[in-house]
Chains A and B, each alone.
Chain A
Amino acid sequence: MAGFREYKIGSRLFGLALGGSMTITLFFPSINIASVSSTDIALTKQLAIGHESGFNLDDPWMQGKNKPLSVSLKVDPLTNQPISGGMQVYVYEKGTSLPNGVDHPKILGEGIRELSVQDGRVKDAKKDVGAVFTLAKGMYQDKQYSYIDDLTATKGWTPAEVMRVAKDSDVSMAGKGKTFFIREGCWWCHTLLPEETQDWQVFGAPPMLGDFNGESPTAFGSDRKGPDLLHVGSRNSSKEWMMMHFFNPRLVQPHSIMPRFDYLWGKYDADGKKINYAEWRKEYNEYREGKRVSPPDVPSYASNSDIRGLIDFILSLK
């Protein structure tokens, strides 16, 4: 190439500058971040939310497929004896992608990965068979750690058996709900990150570095136009409030600018009746104009509706 010799020097310097900048800002931080161990919150999130909540080839239309179920187990599925205090398990039915910490125990952190592999036998979990996981505590080199226990491998509990003894009211579809959180763009207004400086008094404790291991996408949120939601489950655990708020935010918060999410109810309500949205809106407008004393009731949602998953997810954010 014709040109001044300065261009050769310049190109090499450019490479050096860009390479140097990327080393400092990409390579070094990744070593730093990768060395952090998962907290209990991270492990719970991984198990409850699953492999990926954004676009992925197993759920390209973002319908909440390929996600686990969180089950509050009351009886042992094999012996049918009640479990004292209940047990929180995470059911990965056949074909569901496994949590990131199970596929790649390395990201769990020191102690946790060894316990998960040796005691929890997570490497025995297979996607095409399915698995049931829980959080367990164990000792490694004289320190106590939480770890992921593959109950299918250690106790022989299969997803089918756990679901047989579980009631729908014990099942939380928080995993599916996070997919809808991403799809509906909730994170564009509601952050999932109380800031380290001022927010903690109003929105709760800011998350720690180890709270995000294995979570994808982290969905911190964009600019905040609504309250932070990372600890909303601790502030507001009312399913009824959530239902009204999602169906029409202005029912419970007249000055809210949040859009309506009534379409997430789907076609049928909990009793199998068709939901008449137009009728509801008409009655609501009459209420707003003062012709009705109270607003129309929000329909109960069907157990397989999108809104069920979303509300389960929001309530799981404790």
Chain B
Amino acid sequence: MLARKAQIVDALRALAPGLAVIADQLELAVYETDALTAYRQKPLAVVLPANATQVARVLEYAHREGLNIVPRGAGTSLSGGAVPVGDAIVIGLARLNRILAIDYENRCVVAQCGVANLAITHAVADRGFYYAPDPSSQVACTIGGNVAENSGGVHCLKYGLTTNNVLGAELVLPDGEIVRLGGKHLDSEHYDLLGIVTGSEGLLGVVTEVTVRILQRPPTARALLIGFPSTEAAGACVAAVIAAGIIPAGMEMMDRPAIHAAEAFVHAGYPLEAEALLIVELDGPPVEVDVLTERVSELARVQGASSCRASRSETERLAFWAGRKAAFPAVGRLSPDYYCMDGTIPRRELPRVLRAIYAMGERYGLRVANVFHAGDGNLHPLILYDANRPGELARAEAFGADILKLCVDAGGVLTGEHGVGLEKRDLMTYQFTSVDLEIQHRLKHAFDPRARLNPGKVFPTLHRCAEEGREHVRSAAGRFADLPRF
């Protein structure tokens, strides 16, 4: 393989002038992991194309030579989506970082895939516009990565996910062909291939350009900080808000461990006696926000809220959010490592699921704090562990897998926004039957017949027994046995 490696690197270098190729072992280290830092593997090489044509040349070459390719945006994936398994060539998209067009007449922005999510909002901010999907990593994550993961964020409750805000994309197929999907118009002329590519985790093609819709910023935004004596009461309040016909801009919940961690870190003034905290954001014209603030406060009171504060200024609104936004690093202060889970459940299941999670925590001997996108049922349990203690990482992973199975059992799904990636791959058979997975494989085959794009992600390797109704999946006991752990 070593000789072949040198040959491949030379061939990559010759593909196009200006195509940066990294082959030095030390320099490759940056690309061996993403935000799921427990898993690392050195890529065969890294290429950094400057434009879509170079991306296409690389994919065409890899397709001909039968080489694996892993696309990488900012590498903020929390599920190992950008980890280069199987001696892959990483295509880093960071150099495709220009905003190509801002079209206020049609209310959209055309950006190369490497443009950061927040950069799009900044580009249109002076005209009072913004790009609504706001994942927490938005200062770094790229719009191309957002398309791959169908990213959400606090405001997706009211404004939708990436898939509801993308109008078009340019996609390089695994064989190097370039297709344009959608554009500045609404709806596809034929099959909704844009819809199927969004959330496909880099398995169907490499997105090189995205057209997104922009919205006018609401004139007013206000946050309510509401404390409850129990998660049941908080959950009942969420249901009551929805039943009252109100869809807030955002609705986040934190449990007691998360509240305490955040308060110790940021001192946002969170109520420490509360079992659960709800942060409800309301936005729109001033009259609307005033009416909704009154209605939501009253609903909270009826549900037995122990405290309720409405922000009286933009500074205070940001302060209310500071604790929630710092929840992950706050928890990180308490422990050398933490493992952030991502699953979705029907909202009403939250109190029961939380009780089950705490009970599991006891059994595994690990602490856990929870933040919850209360509006849409997306749960982020944060499992605290110390990788230096023998066996603790394995216990944290087993605990995490049990939580995800619990989500599926409760009528939900394995992942709401972080993606399946490497991390949840072997749990796919818990949610889907072998027939369900076989049909998804056929779709993958239509895009990537040689199965070289982002291999080893999302789908477990199935023995071709699907037709016989049985499948053999790589045993969970040897989970990612080929990858070194840190």
Q: Do A and B come from one complex?
A: no
Interface residues of A (CB under 8 A from B): none
Tell me the B residues contacting A by CB distance below 8 Å. Answer: none
